[in-house]
Chain A
Amino acid sequence: MKGNETMKITTPTDRSIVITRAFDAARALVWEAMSAPELLKRWLLGPPGWSMVVCEEDHRVRGAFRYVWRGPGGAEMSMRGLYREVVATERLVRTESFEVAGKAQGEKLSTVVLADQGRRTFVTLTMLFPSREARDAAISSGAAPNYDRLDEVLASAFAGEFQKSASER
């Protein structure tokens, strides 16, 4: 199997993050893996030691979604929001509100665009935050809540996975 495709993260404006990544699969399959709850639960696990325990999806305009992750010591975080645009296999726009330890973070607007790139699929994920501070905080969090005592454990777990991927390349 080929190593993973190059992922790019950019911050084109003060309030945004754009992530791009090519996937070695047809657009319909990528769409399926990004929208079917039983498949989402298998890859959107959160940081090491966490898992997605609730995945509710109503893939329609004005439909709601809700994800809940559970981590070490029963800690929980969740994300919920509403779909604004749904164009099957092409484009998805939704609001997203992240909640960690009962504390809600500002609502962001998330857009996913899928495009053919030969036999592969090029995915562009754009996140628009309410403020620069909210954007920076999201990056600082590493997309996960921070527990100082666990930091070392998490870091070494990540380092292991990272080295594995580096050697696969």
Chain B
Amino acid sequence: MSYGKPIPGHLDATFTALADPTRRAILARLADGDASVMELAQPFAMSQPAISKHIKVLERAGLVSRGRDAQRRPCRLEAGPLAEATRWMARYRRFWEVSFRRLDAVLNELKSKDVKRLSRR
């Protein structure tokens, strides 16, 4: 895997899609199983066209696919881009975690030096 390039276009779409709380709620619902637009719209105080718009954004980001059933066209969660989005941040996170763990070690040494300095007085 390659990391050192700017964020790829499709991941950019993933993050844009994830930035909205309604869309995150839709994904959470789909994690429990496939659902039609009508079913997805139920818990929200939103019209079906408004929900459809959100689903289109999720589809474009590759986070949701639609079934072939012409009537229902059930929505399905696609986990791939989510996993990739998490990995994208992972290396950056590890960089800081590793650095801060080293800082912990430096601080522990400074603390023990301080104790010695004080006990010598």
Contacts and interface: CB of A to CB of B under 8 A. Distances in A.
B111 A4 contact: no
A136 B3 CA distance: 11
B16 to A, nearest CB: 10
A29 interface: yes
A21 B89 CA distance: 17
Contacts of A145: 4
A148 B2 CA distance: 6
Given A143-B92, A165-B97, A29 B111 contact: yes
A156 interface: no
Nearest to A4: B101
B44 interface: no
A19 interface: yes
Contact of B94 (A141, A146, A162): A162
B99 A23 contact: no
Given A47-B95, A137-B6, A151 B110 contact: no
Contacts of B95: 47, 142-144
Contacts of B105: 43
Q: Is the interface of B mostly helix, strand, loop or mixed?
A: helix
Interface residues of B, number: 31
A42 B5 CA distance: 28
A45 interface: yes
A85 interface: no
A58 interface: no
A13 B115 CA distance: 42
A33 B106 contact: yes
B4 A140 contact: yes
A139 interface: yes
Interface in A18-74: 19, 21, 23-25, 29-30, 32-34, 39, 42-45, 47-48
Contacts of B110: 25, 29, 32-33, 39
A162 B97 CA distance: 9
B60 interface: no
B103 A23 contact: yes
B112 to A, nearest CB: 11
Interface of A: 1, 4, 7, 9, 19, 21, 23-25, 29-30, 32-34, 39, 42-45, 47-48, 133, 136-148, 151, 155, 158, 161-162, 165
Given A33-B107, A140-B7, A140-B92, 14 more contacts: A23-B100, A24-B104, A24-B108, A29-B107, A33-B103, A43-B102, A45-B99, A133-B6, A136-B12, A139-B7, A141-B3, A142-B95, A143-B95, A151-B2
11 contacts: A21-B100, A23-B103, A23-B104, A29-B107, A47-B95, A136-B6, A141-B4, A141-B92, A143-B95, A161-B101, A162-B94
